[in-house]
Amino acid sequence: MTLDAVRDALIRQEDTIIFSLIERAKFPINSPTYDESRLSIPGFCGSLVQFIVKETEAYESKAGRFQNLEEHPFFPDDMPPSLVAPYDYKLVLHPAADSINVNGKIWDVYFKELLPLLTEPGDDGNYASTASADLHCLQTFAFRSNSLSVDKNDLQAISKRIHYGNFVAEVKFRDAPQDYEPAIRAQDRDALMKLLTFEAVEATVKKRVEKKATIFSQEVTLNDTKSKGNYKIDPPLVSRLYDEWIMPLTKHVEVEYLLRRLD
């Protein structure tokens, strides 16, 4: 696995993230989906979206996903045990990676910051479909920020992902340990952040995701002139999502990982 291969996977992943945003933007904000007082399921306290994410993680856990300690559920409490045979995960990363978990941040950014910008106000009653669309967005973001499927040819490999920022950091570190070691020994976050930041690459990513959003969110009709300028999501919002949230969160994971890389 090289940094180029990793970058190619991330570029492909941009499309998935944009598709998931377009699908969520079909629905208005639908705030009852997030109202913890509205759902009355005995034995469950929370909103519909929390219920759906928690239940999905429960069956993923039964299928063995969280046997891999590098996988972090959004709702770790009362997780049912894995029902599949244990799988001997090959450790690619420094064990410090296990302790880096940005799920809480992903959850907050998504619901508090992005969603109000992504969706129209209103309520069309489709709360289950809304929650499913949210789940899909959260999973694509968590994938982008945390993880990458790398293992192969084994059923339990289904759950083999690694924290993505960690992985990027590991590859960068292995490419040039001499550049990173002084900053790691000094535990200098700012210096590490500087070493990890490639402004030209980030500018390219922002331009590319905006272009993708323009193409993928257009309304396609057989009559070309009819729908010009009609987009299902606001293309600059996608650029902003990467600029303000996704790329900083990935770099945050990278810095946290590197700080512990020599422990």
Q: Which of 44, 120, 182, 226 binds a copy of itself (CB under 8 A)?
A: 44
Could you tell me where the DSSP H helices lie in the chain? 3-24, 48-62, 103-108, 115-118, 127-146, 164-175, 177-185, 189-196, 199-216, 235-240, 247-259
Stretch that binds a copy of itself, among 113-121, 190-198, 216-224, 252-260 (CB under 8 A): 216-224
Structure tokens at 61: 């856990």
Sign of the CA dihedral with 168 first, then 174, 179, and 184 last: positive
Q: Which of 79, 93, 157, 193 binds a copy of itself (CB under 8 A)?
A: 157
Give the whole-angstrom CA distance, residue 154 versus residue 134.
Answer: 29
For 222, counting Cβ atoms within 10 Å of its Cβ (0-12 exposed, 13-18 middle, 19+ buried), the class is exposed
Report whether 216 contacts 19 (CB < 8 A): yes
Determine if 222 is a binding residue for a copy of itself (CB under 8 A). yes
* Minimum distance of a copy of itself from residue 165's CB (angstroms): 19
Give the whole-angstrom CA distance, residue 58 versus residue 130.
Answer: 20
Residue in this structure with the two tokens 């856990």, named with its chain if needed: 61
Give the whole-angstrom CA distance, residue 247 versus residue 205.
Answer: 9
- Identify which of residues 39 and 193 has a Cβ nearer to a copy of itself in the complex: 39
* Minimum distance of a copy of itself from residue 155's CB (angstroms): 6
Determine if 123 is a binding residue for a copy of itself (CB under 8 A). yes
Q: Which of 197, 221, 227, 230 binds a copy of itself (CB under 8 A)?
A: 221
Stretch that binds a copy of itself, among 91-99, 105-113, 189-197, 218-226 (CB under 8 A): 218-226
* Minimum distance of a copy of itself from residue 85's CB (angstroms): 6
* Minimum distance of a copy of itself from residue 119's CB (angstroms): 16
Q: Which of 10, 17, 22, 142 binds a copy of itself (CB under 8 A)?
A: 22
- Identify which of residues 17 and 255 has a Cβ nearer to a copy of itself in the complex: 17
Determine if 204 is a binding residue for a copy of itself (CB under 8 A). yes
Convert residues 81-100 into a mask of x (bound to a copy of itself by CB under 8 A) and - (unbound).
Answer: --xxx---------------
Report whether 135 contacts 59 (CB < 8 A): no
Residues that bind a copy of itself (CB under 8 A): 12, 15-16, 19, 22-23, 26, 32, 38-44, 48, 51-52, 55-56, 58-60, 62-63, 65, 83-85, 123-129, 131, 136, 149, 151-155, 157-160, 204, 207-208, 211-212, 215-216, 218, 220-222
